[in-house]
Amino acid sequence: MRKDIRSQPAPFETVLVANRGEIALRIMRACRELGARTVGIYSDADAAAPHVRFADEARRVGPAAASESYLRVDAIVDAALESGAQAVHPGYGFLSEGAELAEACARAGIVFVGPTPATLRALGDKLAARRLATEVGVPIVPGSLEPLAWRDMDTQLLEEEAQRVGWPQLIKAAAGGGGRGMRRIDGPAELRDALVGAAREAEAAFGDGAVYLERYVEGARHVEVQLLGDNSGRVVALGERDCSIQRRHQKLVEEAPAPGLSAAQRSQLHRLAVTLAESVGLRNAATAEFLFSSAGETWFLEVNARLQVEHGVTELVLDLDLVVEQLRIAAGEPLSESVLAAAALAASPPRHAIEVRLSAEDPANDFAPRPGRISRWREPSGSDVRVDSGVEEGSAVPPDYDPLLAKLMVTGADRPAALAAMARVLGELEVAGVQTTLPFHRWLVEQPSFAAGDGLSTEFVANFWRPAELMPDAARRAAELAARAYAAGAGRPTQTQPISRDGAAAGWWRVGVEEAAGGHRP
């Protein structure tokens, strides 16, 4: 990270972090390095969470349900005012992309660490962003430019619109992302039911059931560009990340730079992203997302006007702290010399970084969440390793939130070196008590097509991951028993059993499962 992080006064004396888990800790650490005091928030489910203890001050904002705690704009603003915070950093997820918290902060005289409410409104609506891209000459994936009035449209009109878009296609939520409110449809017979289901999910997740159609680009890669902009209107691209390894349209692995891009492709991608950001007067951080088709076409998807989960790989490649830069921009400072130097490096990145998301999910069961309690947690280490975690030994993994536990990141002089480092890191990590995605990641780094980089696409997991052939039935049953026990109210630490890092009896899948077989009892 930057050596000059404390060369200037902290932009704020006190910052409230309106989030939880690993991202709350990551932001708090940046604040502490700057010399700023931190205020954490927590729900009843997180009262004993690491981010609560790490904060200089922590305030309860409600019960476990996110709608009654982490999504309470009034409670968060009250906590900021009562604690004397001058700024609120939303992290990612929760209230980070909507304009409501940003507007409430402005009314209360508090700085929101992110884009302006106007930018959030312009980019938070995916259809508005698609229309904007069309206006400024950025190619979009073929699809709708207005929300579907599907309740009032007869079947023939719906089918005509779908036929215009082309098959296969995705139904997507206009008000959000993360795979929520998204359905793939391959023909007219699926259209009506898929629209109803997608709209209901979008309404539940974002409070807005508006949906639209978008062509599904088969065999495409998902590549995104990191952006920063300041109050003067200056916007820079800080390189790109490949996020093609996904399940259910949600990312599992990210790396920077994107493998296999030519200098011309990289330059064009950065230029398109900056054009979009400049058109809305971006201030602070955002990420423009694109699809690269197998035919070499580049299509714009959306802009996420916030910090991304995967921001760490960009930081590692460019030796930059994006949270520090966010705070300085929010305080009215121009893009720093560190940012400008990093932007110059982005055209020819000096190293490679890879991140895997470790979640409490069962990769043998369509990555279904597996809440529980972590009974063993041993993080890997090394000069080429960074672990952003939000848990520790004994931590509960509640069913109320995203089950992300940690982000494991490595760097190397090039992609093969980074892959070798990741294989080592995945071998060193020890976690038990809950089923995690660790087996999937260990499998992935051994796949020749992934190592070669020529098989990357958003369909990689669907095409190659065959857990039924890898996971023994006994291990699967053990994980399911542990999850049921926790759901029944037994989410508490118990006497542990020996853990085998290699799991000789059941293969490497048993890491994280052996304790589950006998550790959590109703």
Report the DSSP beta bridge partners of residue 235. 229
**How far is the CA of 325 from the CAs of 178, 285, 340, 497, in angstroms?**
25, 9, 11, 45
Q: Which amino acid type is present at position 225?
A: V
Look at residue 96 and give its three-state secondary structure. Answer: coil
Would you state the structure tokens that stand for residue 315, as one six-digit string?
Answer: 């930081």
Cis omega before residue 168 (within 30°)?
A: yes
Q: Are 231 and 239 in contact (CB under 8 A)?
A: no
Helix (H) or strand (E) holding 229: strand 221-229
Q: How many CB atoms lie within 10 A of CB 369?
A: 18
Asked whether residue 223 carries a pLDDT value surpassing 70, the answer given is: yes
Q: With contact defined as beta carbons under 8 Å apart, do 223 and 269 qualify?
A: yes
C-alpha Rg value of the chain to the nearest Å: 22
480, 357, 230, 334: CA torsion to nearest 10: 130
**Closest-CA residue to 461 (of 356, 372, 385):** 356
With 60 as the cut, is the pLDDT of residue 273 above it? Answer: yes
> In terms of pLDDT, which residue wins out, 491 or 51?
51
Region 500-506: what's the mean pLDDT? 29
Percentage of residues of the chain with pLDDT beyond 70: 88
Q: Name, in order, each residue with C-beta under 8 angstroms of 129's C-beta and a sequence gap of 6 or more.
A: 122, 123, 276, 302, 303
Contacts of 516 (CB under 8 A, 6+ apart): 372, 432, 433, 434, 435, 478, 479, 481, 482
- Per-residue pLDDT tens digits for 14-67: 999 999 999 999 999 999 999 999 999 999 999 999 999 999 999 999 999 999
The DSSP element (H or E) to which 32 belongs, if any, is helix 21-34
Structure-token pair, residue 296 = 């070499």
Q: pTM, whole model, 2 decimals? A: 0.88
Contacts of residue 160, Cβ cutoff 8 Å, sequence gap at least 6:
none
- Cβ atoms 394, 515 nearer than 8 A: no
Per 3-state DSSP, the chain is made up of helix, strand and coil in percentages (nearest 5) of: 40, 20, 40
Q: What are phi and psi of 461, to 5 degrees?
A: -65, -45
Q: Active-site residue numbers?
A: 306
* pLDDT exceeds cutoff 50 at 496: no
Summarised one tens digit per residue, pLDDT across range 72-114 is: 999 999 999 999 999 999 999 999 988 999 999 999 999 999 9
Q: Which two tokens stand for residue 177?
A: 């992302």
Q: What is the mean pLDDT of residues 106-128?
A: 93
Distance CA 224, CA 241 (A): 5
Higher per-residue confidence, 114 vs 151: 114
Under a CB-based contact definition with an 8 Å cutoff, are residues 390 and 507 in contact?
Answer: no
**Euclidean distance between CA atoms 281 and 235, whole angstroms:** 8
Residue-range domains of the chain with CATH? 14-113 (3.40.50.20), 116-140+217-349 (3.30.470.20), 142-215 (3.30.1490.20), 351-447+468-486+502-522 (3.30.470.20)
What CA–CA distance (Å, rounded) separates 58 from 42?
7
Q: How far is CA 82 from CA 27, 77, 96, 110, in A?
A: 20, 9, 21, 12
* Phi, psi dihedral angles at 226 (to 5 degrees): -80, 130
Question: In the chain, what percentage of residues exceed pLDDT 90?
Answer: 72
> How far out from the chain centre does Cα 167 lie?
28
pLDDT of residue 393: 97
In this prediction, residue 347 has a pLDDT band, given cuts at 50, 70 and 90, of very high
Mean pLDDT, rounded, for 397-409:
97
* Of 59-63, 187-191, 277-281, 462-466, the least confident: 187-191
pLDDT confidence of residue 486: 52
Between 173 and 277, whose confidence is greater?
277
Q: Can you give the three-state secondary structure of 314-337, one letter per residue?
A: HHHHHCCCHHHHHHHHHCCCCCCH
Average pLDDT over residues 238-254: 95
Strands 284-292 and 361-362: unpaired
Looking up tokens 């049953």 gives 477
Distances (CA, A) of 205 to 22, 149, 151, 199, 208: 22, 19, 19, 10, 8
Copy the structure tokens of residue 206.
Answer: 């974002």
Residue 135 banded pLDDT, cuts 50, 70, 90: very high
DSSP per-residue string spanning 274-323: HHHHHHTT--EEEEEEEEE-TTS-EEEEEEE-S--TTHHHHHHHHT--HH
Tell me which amino acid residue 65 is.
A
| Cβ contact 61:42 at 8 Å | yes
Q: Which of 477, 482, 512, 518 is nearest to 497 (CA)?
A: 518
